[in-house]
Amino acid sequence: MMMDGIIVAFCCERSGYPAADLAGRLRLHYPENLRVIRVPCAGRVDVIHIMKAFEMGASAVVVLGCEEGACHHMTGNTRARERVRYCDTMLREVGIEKRTAVMVNISPNAPHKFVTAAVETSKILEDLREAR
């Protein structure tokens, strides 16, 4: 598969994206398999975007939005959270157990949290792979 092992990270340009930049500037290393797609708000991320990423073979999709209660557009991050949950359910519905969709709330000045999210998602994937 084309994207096997890839983590697609949809990053809100107000939070996840600058956090990822900071991680880079601090040379905090994280798994190379992460591909960031910049969005104006986590609320822009549609179910179909996440599903297409899985279709293309992504092992995980992470949506990074602002902390709950601090979305610049009030509800964008909570909507994203629900969509991510729905996508994860849809994967399970069709018997896909080894891939996952994850929501991460983050602030623009939290590079360590970004790295943790990347590392932990990789770890989840490893655990899922070993589960059977």
In the range 10-39, which residues lie near other proteins by CB under 8 A?
A: 13-15, 17-18, 20-30, 32, 35-39
Instruction: Give yes or no for residue 112 binding other proteins (CB under 8 A).
Output: yes
State the number of binding residues for other proteins (CB under 8 A): 73
For the segment 36-55, give every residue that binds other proteins (CB under 8 A).
36-41, 43-49, 51-55
Q: Is the dihedral of CA 52, 123, 28, 33 positive or negative?
A: negative
Identify residue 100 by its one-letter amino acid code. T
Whole-angstrom CA distances from 84 to 35, 100, 109 are: 17, 9, 23
Nearest distance, CB of residue 121 and other proteins, angstroms: 15
- How many Å apart are CA 50 and CA 63, to the nearest integer? 9
Instruction: Give yes or no for residue 57 binding other proteins (CB under 8 A).
Output: yes
Nearest distance, CB of residue 82 and other proteins, angstroms: 10
